[in-house]
Structure 1
């Protein structure tokens, strides 16, 4: 079922100017908007979090946690980060706030870590005092380790019960995603102290790790909570084609690599199957691949036309995708910011009603999408 069955519209540039992106107005099917540059010169920014006092935190994959305060990027990075490794696709990855951050100042970081047994994905909990992390405690570590330097995943999201969902990639070793005694290739649901969350689907199954919530996931690079249902939505990279959007449901096998709509990078098939009994079909997929990264539902007031739409960044195709939803299914698709020519790493719904974007480059930017006045 090719992606062309969906409506695809290209964004158009309304105004060309040589004075910078802030003077450019972009047109979408339903709204005109522009980009405000919030911060520049970040080294492969990966994730963004909004603090209650208006401060923002940005991770740089190169191993720095940065602060944007009063609209300015603070020169000195946050101190006290856990030990991590920057290798290939690994480094400092996601940052999410504790649901009660206002009272406990606790946050969570995902990152790559290396020791003599190899590399893996870790999650640490820490307290942020405004400039420094203290009380750093590793609460999750995906095992076994390996020498691979890709597909760490690392996206995280909290549900309404305060459980933390942690995505771990297949580490580029695809068969690990179907092995539930191996932490790679799935979503793990844990409490804020790292224990398996109550009600996890495999708690009574000795053949499967207690923290597993789903498996058969290749490399999830976007996770968000549905504003109405509370379900966790995600997307993941396919190989050459087969990027997927999924709703993360307990105990579900999403099929990788037993089923896929993509092919191997060599051009050869990974499998001839796109469906199998007991394996979930994606809600939506892309072929060819767009390399999705970052995902957010629009819930603000600045763009009432976009209420309930889902926004997805794209690395390979260098665009922002707007998906219209109807009855829990994708009913339309629009490409935005194709003229920007930047890899979109993260997409966040800001408390100010704007969509915030991170661009992935050695000198990446933080943008706000705001209406044209």
Structure 2
């Protein structure tokens, strides 16, 4: 199948979604959780919890840290490849293999320069503990294609499915057309084997698409997670407005840049999702933008009232946001101002919520632990 040609204006782009000024931090007494500072980092991006409670934390510039459960001790991991951290580039996500206890495999993503441009890379290495911890036998598993110029919209989120397949997000790199190009992996959700090869049975391969593609028509996909019922939820930045939460369905086209609930940065309108019922519409969207950075489906016991709901970190929105999920339906829930840009939200092994501030625009780069507030 030949790439789809789109007639689009040449526009200037912001590094993320455009948003209204963030509200002032909420009074801690109004929050249903207590906030504890665990540690402070230099522009952290993501975290993963080891079985013993220690954490792996990535920082934008290219460092991966092994951090004690109380945040008081940290060691830099060796073996991390060079990272091109210009603009939105970073050492990005970090995820453990589902059988980490047996194989010690750590998966991570980062932005790198190559021949013809830059791209997002999926890699893995074997975790080696000790006085000088490292990732051993690091190998590149997948690189988003094509490589293009620019430093934006890498995406790079990773999640393992219950059946062991790996899902990897590739942003459209602020280039519009790759999101609808059947051969490019940019602007797509990908379904891979754990060695980075395209998984068998991907829904669009027989139609001439790149065999790794699971869904397409996405912009900047910065959060993805599975619910206990197997539903796959994703959050992405829209343009000027139109940030969206999607239920990811195999083979579906999510419309960007043909449709959006936001507009181009110069004010040029984009047709709304309602004009194209043949394209998959978001379950929830925001206008003005919140600039979502991350997403989890909560499955813990500390906050039983939120089990099965989606939590989103917001950058320009400077908030933690809950989306109320009911099966395949979703609606806006709570929005708690945090007074800082939230780069990552994760669930800890004991069911607490952990946040990372991204360290920009007066954010300190702290790791915060959220536990149920004590009744007064």
- TM exceeds 0.5? yes
Q: Any conservation in 1 of the 2:67–2:74 contact (CA below 8 Å)?
A: no
Provide the residue aligned with 2:30 in structure 1.
Answer: 27
**Separation in 1 of the partners of 2:69 and 2:158?**
26
- Trace 1:87-236 onto structure 2 (pairs within 5 A): 87-130=86-129, 131-205=133-207, 207-227=208-228, 229-236=229-236
Deviation at 1:247, TM superposition (A): 1.3
Helix, strand or coil: the match of 1:167? strand
Describe the superposition over 1:93-151 as per-residue Cα deviations: whole angstroms up to 9, x where unpaired. 10011010011100111110102321001101110112101011101011111111100
Contact 1:240 1:263 in 2 (8 A): yes
- What CA distance in whole angstroms lies between the structure 2 residues aligned with 1:273 and 1:81? 41
Aligned to 1:353: 351
**CA distance in structure 1 between the partners assigned to 2:185 and 2:307 by the alignment:** 36
CA contact (8 A) 2:154 2:172 kept: yes
Distance apart, 1:69 and its partner CA: 1.3
What's the counterpart of residue 285 of structure 2? Answer: 285
Shift of 1:63: 0.5
Q: Output one character per residue of 1:59-91: Cα deviation in whole Å (capped at 9) or x when no partner.
A: 111101011114135443111012321111012
Shift of the 226–170 alpha-carbon distance from structure 1 to 2, 3 Å rule, reads same
Contact 2:324 2:333 in 1 (8 A): yes
Q: What residue is the counterpart of 2:372 in the other structure?
A: 371
CA positional deviation for 1:328: 2.8
CA RMSD of aligned residues (A): 1.8
CA gap of 1:26–1:162, structure 2 versus 1, over 3 A, is: farther
Alignment length (residue pairs):
346
Secondary structure at the counterpart of residue 76 of structure 1: strand
Q: Structure 2: state its 5+ residue gaps.
A: 1-23
Matches within 5 A, 1:49-68: 49-68=48-67
- Say which SS state the counterpart of residue 188 (structure 1) adopts: strand
Structure 2 equivalent of residue 250 of structure 1: 250
Looking at structure 1, the residues matched to 272 and 70 of structure 2 have their Cα atoms a distance apart, in angstroms, of: 51
- C-alpha distance in 1, partners of 2:36/2:272? 46
Partner of 1:259: 259
2:95 and 2:304 mapped to 1: Cα distance? 26
| TM-score calculated relative to the size of structure 1 | 0.88
Q: Does the CA-based 8 Å contact 2:167-2:189 persist in structure 1? A: yes
User: CA, structure 1 residues 263+193, in 2 after alignment: closer, same or farther (shift >3 Å)?
Assistant: same
Return closer, same or farther for 1:259/1:274 CA change in 2, 3 Å cut-off. Answer: farther
Alignment TM-score, normalising by the size of structure 2: 0.88
Contact 1:159 1:231 in 2 (8 A): no
Q: Secondary structure at the match of 2:179?
A: helix
In structure 2, the CA distance between the partners of 1:225 and 1:315, relative to structure 1 (3 Å rule), is same
Does the alignment pair 1:309 with 2:309?
yes
Q: How far apart are the structure 2 equivalents of 1:94 and 1:331?
A: 27
* Alignment gaps of 5+ in structure 1: 1-9, 14-24
Per the TM alignment, residue 306 of structure 1 is displaced from its structure 2 partner at its CA by: 2.2
Residue in structure 2 matched with residue 18 of structure 1 by the alignment: none
Encode CA deviations 1:214-263: one digit per residue, 9 max, x unaligned: 11000111111102x11221000001111111111111110000010101
Tell me: CA distance 1:322–1:273, structure 2 relative to 1, closer, same or farther (3 Å): closer
Q: State how far apart, in whole Å, the 2-side matches of 1:91 and 1:208 are.
A: 28
Q: Any conservation in 1 of the 2:315–2:341 contact (CA below 8 Å)?
A: yes
Cα distance in 2, alignment partners of residues 123 and 103 from structure 1 = 21
